[in-house]
Amino acid sequence: MTALGMCLALAALIGIARLLWWQRTSPAPAKPWRLALLAALQIVTAGLLWLTLEPPPISGHAGTLVVATAGAPRLAMLAAGDALVALPEAPTLAGVERVPDLATALRRHPGTRALRIIGTGLPPRDQTITDLPLAFDPPPLPRGLVSLTAPAPVAPGAAFRVGGYVNNVPGGRVTLLDPAGRNLASAPLGPLGEFTLAGTAGAAGPAEFTLRITDAARRPVETAMVPVVAAEPVLLRALIMAGAAGPDLKYLRRWATDAGLGVSASIAAGNGLDIGDATPRLDAASLAKLDLLILDERSWAAIGAGGHAQVLNAVRGGLGVLLRVTGPLPDATRREWAALGFAADDATSPLRLLGEGPVLTQVTTRPGRDMAALPGAPAGHWRNLGRGRIALWPVTDLYTLVLAGEGQRHGAIWSAIFATIARPQAASPPRLSPDAAPGARMTVCNLGSAASVRQPDGAVTTLIVDAGCAAFWPRLPGWHELRGTAATPFLVTPPSPARAAVQARTATLALVQPGSSATAAPPARGPSWPWFLAWLIASALLWWFERSRYGRAIPG
Amino acid sequence: MTAAVPATAFVAHWSRPARLRSAANDLAIGLPLPLAAAALVARAGGWPTAFAVVVAGLALVAMVAHARSRRFDKVWLVRQLDAAHPELEDSSDLLVSDANLGPLQRLQRQRIAARLAAIDAATLRPGWQTRPIAAAWLIGLAIAAAALSWPAAGGSAPLRPRPVTARPAGPPRLIGQRLRITPPAYTGLPARDAALTTRAPTGSRLAFALRFAPNPTSAVLQGVDGRRLPLTRSGDLWVASDTLNRSLLYRVVAAGAAPGALQRIDAVPDVPPTIRVIEPERTLTPMAVGQTRWQLRFDVSDDHGVAATARLRLIVTSGEGENISFRETSRVITGSGDRKRRRFDTSLDIRSLGLTAGNDIVAQLIVADNRMFGRSPNPQTSRSPSLILRWPPDLGQEAGGLDGMVKTVLPAYFRSQRQIIIDTQALIKQRRRLAPDRFLAQSDTIGVDQRTLRLRYGALLGDESSAAPVLPTSDAPAEKPRDDALPKQDRLPSGHAADDGHDHGSAKPVFGSADDVLADYGHAHAESDAATLMDPASNSLLRQAVDAMWQSELNLRQGAPEKALPFALIALARIKAVQQATRIYLSRTGPELPPIDLNRRLSGKRTDIIAPALAPAPRASDGVNAVPAAAWRALAGPGPVALGGVQAWAAAHPPADPLALAAAIDAVQRDQGCTACRKALRAQLWAAMAPPPAQVLRRAASDMAGKRYLAALQ
Q: What is the pLDDT of residues B256-273, one digit of tens each?
A: 888 778 888 888 888 899
Q: Contact A428/B703 with Cβ under 8 angstroms? A: yes
* Chain A interface includes B678 (CB < 8 A): no
Beta bridge partners of A388: A385
**DSSP-derived 3-state class of residue B159:** coil
| Closest chain B CA to residue A278 | B611
Q: What is the DSSP letter of A462?
A: E
Length of chain B: 714
Residue-wise DSSP of B572-631: HHHHHHHHHHH-----SS---PPPP-TTTTTS---TTPPPP--SPPP--SSTTTHHHHHH
Q: Nearest CA to B421 among B276, B564, B321, B624?
A: B564
Helix residue spans in B338-416 (DSSP H): 350-353, 395-399
Question: Predicted ipTM?
Answer: 0.76
The single-letter DSSP state of residue B308 is S
The residue type of A178 is D
The amino acid that residue B479 corresponds to is E
User: With a CB-CB cutoff of 8 Å, which residues 626-655 of chain B face chain A?
Assistant: 628-629, 632-633, 636-639
Band of residue B158 on the pLDDT scale cut at 50, 70, 90 = very low
Which pLDDT score is estimated for B479? 41
> Which of B679, B691, B700 lies closest to A157 in CB terms?
B691
B706: contact with A, CB 8 A cutoff: no
Of the residues B622, B698, B710, the best mutation for testing chain A's interface (the one with the most A CB atoms within 10 Å of its CB) is B698
For the segment B261-306, what is each residue's pLDDT rounded down to a tens digit?
888 888 888 889 999 999 888 888 888 888 889 999 999 999 888 8
Beta bridge partners of A466: A469
Render pLDDT for B520-558 as a digit per residue (tens, 0 to 9).
554 444 444 444 556 677 778 888 888 999 999 999 998
B618 touches chain A (CB under 8 A): yes
Nearest CA in chain B to A482: B637
Report the gap between the CA of B267 and the closest CA in chain A (Å). Answer: 24
Average pLDDT score over residue span B208-222 = 86
Backbone CA torsion sign across A400, A406, A409, A411? positive
Q: Does A291 touch chain B (CB under 8 A)?
A: yes
Q: Round to whole Å and give the CA distance between B579 and B417.
A: 13
Cβ atoms within 10 Å, residue B128: 12
A489 touches chain B (CB under 8 A): yes
pLDDT in tens, B650-662: 888 888 888 888 8
Nearest CB to B683 within list A179, A267, A291 = A179
CA dist A494 and A488 (Å) reads 20
- Average pLDDT (B106-121) is 80
DSSP H helix total and E strand total for chain B: 19, 21
Q: Does B72 touch chain A (CB under 8 A)?
A: no
pLDDT tens digits, one per residue of B446-485: 998 898 888 888 877 766 655 444 444 434 344 443 444 3
Q: Do B701 and A278 touch (CB under 8 A)?
A: no
- Taking only residues 229 to 248 of chain A, the set having a beta carbon closer than 8 angstroms to any beta carbon of chain B reads 231, 233-234, 236, 245
Lowest mean pLDDT among A247-256, B387-396, B662-671, B697-706: B387-396
Mean pLDDT for chain B overall: 78
Kindly determine whether residue A259 and residue B629, on different chains, have CB atoms separated by under 8 Å.
no
Flag whether residue B44 sits within 8 Å of chain A, measured between CB atoms. Answer: no
Cβ-count burial A211-235 (b if 16+ within 10 Å, e if not): bbbbbeeeeebbebebbbbbbbbee
Angle at A200 between CA A209 and CA B629, to 5 degrees: 75
Quick one: angle between helices B536-557 and B417-429, nearest 10? 30
Residue-wise pLDDT tens digits, B415-433: 688 888 998 999 998 888 8
| Interface contact flag, B696 A259, Cβ < 8 Å | yes
How far apart are alpha carbons A304 and A315 in whole angstroms? Answer: 16
| Separation of CA A362 from chain center | 33
**pLDDT at residue B611, rounded to an integer:** 61
**Per-residue model confidence (pLDDT) at position B470:** 46
A 314-373: CB under 8 A from B: 316
Residues 6+ apart with CB under 8 A from A307: A282
Whether B228 and B222 have beta carbons less than 8 Å apart is answered as: yes
Map residue A55 onto helix, strand or coil: coil
Q: What is the pLDDT of residue B414?
A: 55
Hey, are the CB atoms on A273 and B606 less than 8 Å from each other?
yes
CA atoms within 13 A on the CB side of B490: 11
Question: What confidence category does residue B153 fall into, taking pLDDT thresholds of 50, 70 and 90?
Answer: very low
Strand partners, A372: A382
Q: Quick check: A422 and B696 CB within 8 A? A: yes
| Separation between Cα atoms, residue A27 and residue B132, nearest integer Å | 89
Residue from B603, B696, B704, B708 whose CB has the most chain A CBs within 10 Å, to mutate = B696
Q: How many CA atoms lie within 13 A of B316 on its CB side?
A: 15
Element (H, E) at A383: strand A381-385
Smallest CA–CA distance from A275 into chain B, residue: B611
- Judged by a CB distance cut-off of 8 A, whether residue A488 touches chain B is no
**Cβ density class A330-348: b for 16+ within 10 Å, e for less:** eeebbebbeebbbbbeeeb
In chain A, residues with a C-beta closer than 8 Å to the C-beta of B696 are 155, 158, 233, 236, 259, 261, 415, 418-419, 422
Of the candidates B639, B689, B700, the beta carbon closest to that of A202 is on B689
Q: Which residues of A touch B637 (CB under 8 A)?
A: 454, 456, 479, 481
Distance, CA of A532 to CA of B564 (rounded, Å): 120
Cα radius of gyration (chain A): 36
Q: Determine contact: B611 vs chain A, CB below 8 A.
A: yes
- Of the candidates B84, B127, B116, which has an alpha carbon nearest to the alpha carbon of residue B13? B116
The percentage of chain B sitting over the pLDDT mark of 70, rounded to a whole number, equals 79
- Assign B491 a pLDDT band (cuts: 50, 70, 90): very low
* pLDDT for the residue numbered A49: 92
Q: Residue B151 — very low, low, confident or very high, per pLDDT cuts 50/70/90?
A: low
Q: Which residues pair with B278 in a beta bridge?
A: none
Cβ-based contacts under 8 A for chains A and B: 162
**In the predicted model, what is the mean pLDDT of residues B677-699?**
89
pLDDT tens profile B492-508: 444 444 444 444 444 44
**Which pTM value belongs to this model?**
0.57
A288: Cβ contacts below 8 Å, ≥ 6 apart: A314, A317, A319
Exposure of A68 in the CB half-sphere (CA atoms within 13 A): 26
B616–A411 C-beta distance less than 8 A = no
Q: Residue A426 is nearest to which of B618, B701, B703, comparing CB atoms?
A: B701
Q: Chain B neighbours among A 376-415 (CB < 8 Å)?
A: 384, 386-387, 408, 411-412, 414-415
| Per-residue pLDDT at A315 | 94
- Residue type (1 letter), B658: P
Q: Are residues B611 and A291, on separate chains, in Cβ contact within 8 Å?
A: no
* A272-286, B176-190, B578-592: which is most confident: B176-190
* B691/A200 CB distance under 8 A: yes
Query: What is chain A's pLDDT, residue by residue, as a tens digit (556 residues)?
Result: 578 889 999 999 999 998 889 888 887 777 888 889 989 999 999 999 998 888 776 655 557 888 888 888 777 766 655 678 888 888 887 778 889 988 888 888 877 888 888 888 888 888 887 778 888 888 888 888 888 888 888 999 898 989 999 988 889 999 999 999 999 889 999 998 999 998 899 888 899 999 999 999 999 999 999 999 998 888 899 999 999 889 999 999 999 988 888 899 998 887 777 888 877 888 899 999 999 999 999 999 999 999 999 999 999 999 999 999 998 899 999 999 999 888 888 888 888 887 777 888 888 888 877 888 887 777 889 999 988 999 999 998 999 999 988 888 899 999 999 999 999 988 778 888 888 888 888 999 888 888 899 998 888 999 999 888 899 999 988 899 998 888 888 989 888 888 888 888 888 888 887 655 444 345 556 778 888 999 999 999 999 988 887 777 655 4
Between positions 468 and 497 of B, the ones with CB within 8 A of A are: none
Long-range Cβ contacts of A330-333 (<8 Å, 24+ apart):
A330/A297, A330/A301, A332/A301, A333/A297, A333/A300, A333/A301
